[in-house]
Structure 1
């Protein structure tokens, strides 16, 4: 069995008043609509062996956010194995983006379950900036190490 892989970009910015902030997306679709804690994610998606993780991260950012990925430098935050076994690779990139400009991609699923009907839903239904402590409460638990790695990287940088 081949391990599924995902890659993504964690945008971050630093502003005088707010300090460090990261950009997260609230997962779209009916399974997540009433959840907040643990229902936000770093924009990312799956890729196959024919694509590099970095290229996939850029492509997935554009698919999920609907805007071109920012230019680098890209700071590698490494990999994390999700609960289901998927291996996720993330890069941090310093950039500013107005969440109101996001035009998330969509996905199709059967809804309601076992109804035989399909519906289209946004990949992300909201995109927002959060301070690291807020992001920690919002993020899917398995992605929290990426926040810690970004913090460590920025601490060592300056």
Structure 2
């Protein structure tokens, strides 16, 4: 059975009318030197019985290691996508008001992995090792391919 994750796509409006989205770069040695396809929404798996939107907000706060801004209205539902490996991801977007998060204060939660694979050695790594703001075109280039749909859906919703 495919796993289900939920995530949040923080965004900010720019003075010129544009928008940027906040993505996290996946942590650990496998992703260390990769750029394209190695960035993601702030997301994670649902706890048993957890409502997807609540999971999205919880996971974003855990991966950033800081409190999210309160929503100025309901978070914007971006639907779901199925990633190549079969994982289903549900997403919402939330506007991050100025001045935005202090990106140097980001402190992701950690996860334990086996590294190198099949070595029996365990390594504790941050789920995300850094975050950055991206214009939509740049976000589509670096984000996990299926998640580019969330960027498109956000841009369409903000244009309406």
TM-score, structure 1 normalization: 0.92
Structure 1 segments (4+ residues) deviating >6 Å: none
CA–CA separation in structure 2 for the residues paired with 1:70 and 1:4 = 28
- Decide whether the 8 Å contact of 1:107 with 1:123 is kept in 2: yes
Structure 1: 5+ residue stretches without partners: none
CA–CA separation in structure 2 for the residues paired with 1:66 and 1:128 = 15
Per-residue deviation, 1:115 = 2.4
Residue 89 of structure 2: aligned partner: 88
CA–CA separation in structure 1 for the residues paired with 2:107 and 2:91 = 21
| DSSP-derived class of the 2:63 partner | helix
Residue 98 of structure 1: aligned partner: 102
**CA RMSD between the two structures:** 1.4
Residue 32 of structure 2: aligned partner: 33
Per-residue deviation, 1:113 = 2.2
| DSSP-derived class of the 1:79 partner | strand
Alignment of 1:1-158 (within 5 A): 1=1, 3-16=2-15, 19-72=18-71, 73=73, 74-95=75-96, 96-156=100-160
| DSSP-derived class of the 2:104 partner | helix
Per-residue deviation, 1:116 = 1.9
**Alpha-carbon deviations, 1:22-81, whole Å to 9, x = none?**
000100011101100111001000014410001100110111111122322301011111
TM-score, structure 2 normalization: 0.91
Structure 2: 5+ residue stretches without partners: none
| DSSP-derived class of the 2:78 partner | strand
CA–CA separation in structure 2 for the residues paired with 1:146 and 1:37 = 16
Per-residue deviation, 1:10 = 0.3
Per-residue deviation, 1:143 = 0.2
CA–CA separation in structure 1 for the residues paired with 2:102 and 2:17 = 15
| DSSP-derived class of the 1:31 partner | coil
Per-residue deviation, 1:98 = 2.2
The number of residues matched between the two structures is 155
